[in-house]
Chain A
Amino acid sequence: MTEIKIEMKNIGKIFETDDVETHALKDINIVIRAGEYVSIAGPSGCGKSTLLSLLGLLDESTSGSYVIEGHDVSHLSLDEAARIRNEKIGFVFQSFNLIDELSVFDNVALPLQYKKVLPTDEFIKVRVATCLKMVEMSHRADHKPNQLSGGQQQRIAIARALVADPAILLVDEPTGNLDSKSGDTVMAVLAELNKNGTTICMVTHDARYADMANIQLKILDGQIVNDEPLKVAV
């Protein structure tokens, strides 16, 4: 049995505003193993982005437990959560979220700057170069994000997510802000990464891209509606 990267049990999330309680997620149970490519799909407002935020420790669940690579991360302080994100999770945002004032190289190197023990400059150089090569963007290392197309920016974002060698790549609507051609390119990069062993969990509303994952989870009204994976990738 391959190693379990992520395990969520009975996860719930309630948003409270004034006198209104919104149950965004109810009794979510997920297990993601090493090397899997999981897609989470569902209609608008179903809770898929909320689920991804919880998976990425960007938000706190109201109930349930969450374990990453054997570590219980259910109740961490803000700084502890930041450390786990830095070490175990690579996040790719829909709107890329690159920092305009930094070069491509510096954007990709940024997670390494936040490591508990700062790596050497040589290590950073080698690691960034490796990640840029993986996404075929080595030739743009000195450029600024606003000099790149959307697809190129998203590939840089993927490289940034990989640089700290995370346990899992969490991807939030990676093609949401891209044209179809750029979207295809980005999805091809993700597929290649998964082929090479990277564990990926992706939220998407596009059925075409959801089908590229070997495990598809469907969410409706905050609950996972399919108990078993719909398809196993060949």
Chain B
Amino acid sequence: MRKFIHQHKQAWASLKKKPGFILTVVMTMGITLGALLCAITLNYLLLVEPLPYPDQERLFVAEHSLIGAEKETQAVSFTYPGLVHLYKSKAAFEQAAIMSYDQDVIVSHSSQPLVNTAYVTPELHQILASPLAMGRMFEASEALDTNNPVAMLSYNTWQQEFEASADILEQKINIRAVSYRIVGVLAEHFVEPELGEEIGRKTQVWLPWDFNQSEEGVRQAFGLINENLKFIGQLKRGVSQSQAQQLLTPLVNDRWKEGVADDDFFNPWSIKMRVRSVKDVIIGDSGSIAVMLLAGVLGLVLIACTNISNLFMSRTAENQRQMAIQAAIGATKKHLFKAMFAETSLLIFMSIILALVLANVGFYIMQEYLGAVLPRVNELSLNLITFSSAVIVTIVFALFFAKLSTRMINYRALNTTLQSSGKGSGLQVSKKTRQVLIASQVALATVLVFANFSLLKEAVKTINAPIGFTTNNISTLILNFSSTDIPSQEEAMPIMAEIMEKLESLPQVESLSQSGSPLDDFRTTGLTNVANNENFTPFFKGVDHRYFNIIEQPLLQGDNFTDVDSRDGNNFMIVNQAFAKQLKADGDVIGMQILSEDPDPFKIIGIVKDIAIPGETAFGSDSVAAGVPRVYVPNRLGGQTFMLKLKQGQSVSRQQLGKLLAEVDSRYSVFSFNAASDLLTQSLFTEITTAVTTAVLASLVFLLAGIGLYGILSYGTQLRRFELGTRMAIGATRKHLLKMIIGDNTVAVLAGFIGSIVLFALAYIGLSGYIQPFLTLQVLPMLVATIVLIILVTLFACYWPLRQYINKPAIFSLSGSD
């Protein structure tokens, strides 16, 4: 132990003479190892670590697939009655729960916050063994058809909305005219299974299933699907996943067929049940994202290792005299290795401390910014895996760098170092090694920078892609109705008319439409072409006559709706170009008759230009490139959604609107009030995150590669100091020397580019499924840009270290460096 401490003390004494060396090693390795520890922990969490629920290997989600006439999957969502039927059947599952995700306004709260709600049966929290901070979870008294209004809060909701009130269990909350008694608060460490479409969504208030917001008509409609309806359960022991699927499919399909027997549209359709483990559902495609992130980070680590290897080798070359002295007084090779290991282990230890700090920061950043892209990120923390990886990485890298450095030493020839003048003799990093280091830096940097540039380009392309309508100064207002006495359309119409009048009179408002935003208000519907009985499933939306003007979506042919159409509920329809082309190849569909669930057909009176919502695909399609078919019908005037176009520079607050609504009818309040531009940014969140991540990674790679290339080329130039001085002495100009240095390194750089091609080929073989979509001619500019950047960095790295010699009289290079 004493020897260990003594060795490390000596190592520190030697190291602290070179603070720049320590800083470079610790910063470079600290940053890259921090990223590595982050990526390792994330991968372990997503791919290996079991879910924090009991018996989680029996935990499965049932999925309800709608199979269309051509036997293709049209959608994977439950119908309301289908879900309840499955739940009540108790087939295949020992215990099961059903859920409906929603959003609601807590009307009784002073700020009337909009919260994420989940309407669930009591089995959910029993299956998950949800830990509680206080109170209880739902019981049999809150089961299906008991109509017992109780609520559970998430820990954060209790903390933030109710100020961690100690008497929370004595409080009630009012949501949509129902008063719920709070019976429990979930523990802070409760991990909600992310089963919804929105990754990272956290339920804030849990309510009993009976109170879910589906209207009575929807509760009976086998022809309407809702992606927010979920089924989770524990499989019966002895029942496998495939057995469960075989059991459930006929059970659900037969009942569904009965339910849609009267609707010819669904005659050729069927239901297929799929049973997936909860882990598969939660992880989804994220596993591959995490693996690719790890691959990217490993690339960074490789570059960093190359840089640091070069630094250690240079240090060994510089320290040959000290090693020679040690050898002269009796140090063996093993002693020299141990001395080197003491240095490398100290440096890597310092690096890993920094890495752990940065990994923790990385977890925070991932939770803040990747929560909507990657599941389970809230479970990320410094854990046993992180620390074990840190220990292993410390030992491996310390040994690696120590071994690498000591390999350079020719122990037998050490004593000649003491006898020689030292000029140009002794230990050096060989030219071949230097060339290999340069080539490997260039190869890795080219691959990584190009990969990141390509991803960045795709993300930026999506972000900048024209959407076909404006979001400037437009906000969407959705009203909340907090009474059980829901008014009919006729009763609601004058109320809405008055609300509209008041909204229009606000000085900040330029114009108004009684329609929802194009970003969040489309639903799918089944339509039939009367002429040939062909069936379609476009997106469908109710709008008023001001809608297209306010969002500046051009009407290409025919007529817009009028206020009379909305008032009278006329069966007119406006379609977009994509749907027009589906109906008829030449798109000339004005006057065509279209049947929906309404007995009277719709008549197409107009065609509007297509819009492109980022990431959206048509019903039953995965292609984002194809146009999404849409139809618009006149909105009824009782609708509770409005688009406000505000005047430039003006704003309206949620409170102002709340007050305005209360003046008209106190049953109405603000459900949500969001700027369309914010909604657009949210829909682009994945692309924005990708763009930022790839830009940062590309910059980091570039920086590390630049440091590495500079380090190697600087070292090489340093070694040639006397040669440079000699050449200057015999008449070489600065231009001659620069050309010489660039020429000498050209072969290694070219070898690096060839190496990058090999790496690309290997990546293509291994990951062709992921890479194929990116292989278009459009990547060529990215490739050229990458190569140009690498060349520029190399040229800079050739020139900059040379400056100190060629910009001074030749004597400076010729005089002794010791």
Which B residues, 416 to 430, have Cβ-Cβ distances below 8 Å to chain A?
A: 421, 423-424
Chain B residues contacting A161 (CB-CB under 8 Å) are 730
Q: Is A123 an interface residue (CB 8 A)?
A: no
Q: Which residues of A sit under 8 angstroms from B814, Cβ to Cβ?
A: 58, 93, 97
Question: Chain A contacts of B730 at CB under 8 A?
Answer: 85-86, 91, 110-111, 114, 160-161, 164
B722 on the interface (CB 8 Å rule)?
yes
**Closest CB of chain A to B808's CB: distance in Å?**
8
State in angstroms the CA–CA spacing of A86 and B735 once bound together: 14
Which residues of the other chain, B, contact A177 by a CB distance below 8 angstroms?
421
Q: Does A212 contact B (CB under 8 A)?
A: no
- A87–B808 Cα distance when bound, in Å, is 20
Considering only CB atoms, which chain A residue lies closest to B720 in the complex?
A99
Binds B, one of A26-34, A76-84, A125-133, A214-222: A76-84
A59 at the interface (CB under 8 A from B): yes
Q: Mark A96-114, 1 if CB is under 8 A from B, else 0.
A: 0111100000000011011
Interface residue from A53, A93, A98, A164 paired with B731 (Cβ < 8 Å)? A164
Residues of B within 8 A of A98 (CB): 726
Q: Does A60 have its Cβ within 8 Å of any Cβ on chain B?
A: yes
Closest-by-CB residue of B relative to A88 is B731
A60 to B812, CA, bound (A): 11
Q: Please give the number of chain A residues whose Cβ is less than 8 angstroms from any Cβ of chain B in the complex.
A: 30
Q: Assuming A93-B726, A95-B423, A99-B723, is B811 touching A114 (CB within 8 A)?
A: no
The answer to whether A87 and B731 touch across the interface, beta carbons within 8 angstroms, is yes
Is A82 touching B809 in the complex (CB atoms < 8 A)?
Answer: no
- Which residues does chain B contribute within 8 Å of A87, judged by CB atoms? 731
Chain A 168-188 against B: per-residue CB contact (8 Å), 1 yes, 0 no? 000000000100000000000
Candidates A60, A78, A99, A115; contact of B807 at CB < 8 Å: A78
Residues of chain A with a CB closer than 8 A to B725's CB: 97
Q: Find out whether the CB atom of A114 lies under 8 angstroms from the CB atom of B734.
A: no
Q: From residue B429, how far is it (CB to closest CB) to chain A in Å?
A: 15
Q: Give the chain B neighbours of A57 by CB distance below 8 A.
A: 809
B275: which A residues are within 8 A, CB to CB? Answer: none
Contacts of A85 in B (CB 8 A): 728-731, 810
Which A residues touch B424, using CB under 8 A?
100
- B736 on the A face (CB < 8 A): yes
The yes or no answer to A56 lying at the interface (CB within 8 A) is: yes
Given contacts A58-B814, A81-B809, contact A97 B733 (CB under 8 A): no
Question: Which residue of A60, A97, A114, A160 contacts B736 across the interface (Cβ within 8 Å)?
Answer: A114
Which residues of chain A have C-beta atoms less than 8 A from B809's C-beta?
Answer: 53, 57-60, 78, 81
Bound complex: CA of A164 vs CA of B730, how far in Å? 9
* Min CB–CB distance B254 → chain A (angstroms): 85
- Chain A residues with CB under 8 Å of B734's CB are 78-79, 82
Complex CA distance for A97 and B734, rounded to whole angstroms: 19
Number of chain B interface residues as a range: 20 to 34
Q: Secondary structure of the B side of the interface? A: helix
Q: A53, A86, A97, A111 — which one has the most chain B CB atoms within 10 A of its CB?
A: A97
Complex Cα spacing A164 to B808, Å: 24
- B712-725 vs A, CB cutoff 8 Å, 1 = contact: the mask equals 00000000001101
Which residue of chain B has the shortest Cβ distance to A60 in the bound complex?
A: B809
CB-nearest residue of chain A relative to B726?
Answer: A97
Note all chain A residues with C-beta closer than 8 A to B728.
Answer: 58, 82, 85
Give, as a whole number of angstroms, the nearest-CB distance from B298 to chain A. Answer: 37
Given the interface contacts A59-B809, A59-B811, A60-B809, does A110 sit within 8 Å of B733 by beta carbon? no
**A79 x B729 contact (CB < 8 A):** no
For B723, what are the chain A residues with a Cβ–Cβ distance below 8 Å? 97, 99
Residues B731 and A83 in contact, CB atoms below 8 Å apart: yes
B811 touches A79 (CB 8 A): no
Q: Scoring B residues 630 to 669 as 1 if CB is less than 8 Å from chain A, else 0, what string do you get?
A: 0000000000000000000000000000000000000000
CA distance A177 to B725 in the complex (A): 19
Name which of B423, B723, B730 has the most chain A CB atoms within 10 A of its CB. Answer: B730
B567 touches A (CB below 8 Å): no
Among B424, B725, B732, max chain A CB count under 10 A is at B732
Which one of B423, B722, B811 has the greatest number of beta carbons of chain A within 10 Å? B811
Contact of A86 among B421, B731, B806 (CB under 8 A): B731
Residues of B within 8 A of A81 (CB): 809
Contact across chains for A97 and B806 when beta carbons are under 8 A apart: no
Which chain A positions have C-beta within 8 A of B722? 97
Q: How far is the CB of A24 from chain B (nearest CB, A)?
A: 12
A53 to B815, CA, bound (A): 11
Residues on B with beta carbons closer than 8 Å to the beta carbon of A53: 809, 811
Determine if A58 and B726 form an interchain contact, defined as CB atoms under 8 angstroms apart: no
Interface centre among A60, A86, A87 (most CB of B within 10 A): A86
B384 to chain A minimum Cβ distance, whole angstroms, is 54
Q: Residue B727 at the A interface, CB < 8 A?
A: yes
Chain A residues lying within 8 Å of B736, measured Cβ to Cβ, are 113-114
When chains A and B are docked, how far (Å) is the Cα of A83 from the Cα of B728?
9
Contact A56 B726 (CB under 8 A): no
Task: Report whether A91 and B733 are in contact in the complex, using a CB–CB cutoff of 8 Å.
Answer: no
Contact residues, A6-59 vs B (CB, 8 A): 53, 56-59
Tell whether, in the assembled complex, residue B733 and residue A58 are in contact, meaning their CB atoms are under 8 Å apart: no
Q: Is the CB of B423 within 8 A of A111?
A: no
CA distance A105 to B257 in the complex (A): 95
With A and B bound together, what is the CA distance between A67 and B423 in angstroms? Answer: 33
B723-762 contacts to A, CB under 8 A, are 723, 725-736
In the assembled complex, the CB of B475 is this many whole angstroms from the nearest CB of chain A, namely 66
CA separation between A105 and B357, bound complex, in Å? 59
Closest 4 CB pairs of A and B: A86-B731, A97-B726, A114-B731, A59-B811
Mind listing 12 A-B residue pairs with CB under 8 Å? A58-B814, A59-B810, A59-B811, A60-B809, A79-B734, A82-B734, A85-B730, A91-B729, A97-B723, A97-B814, A110-B727, A114-B733
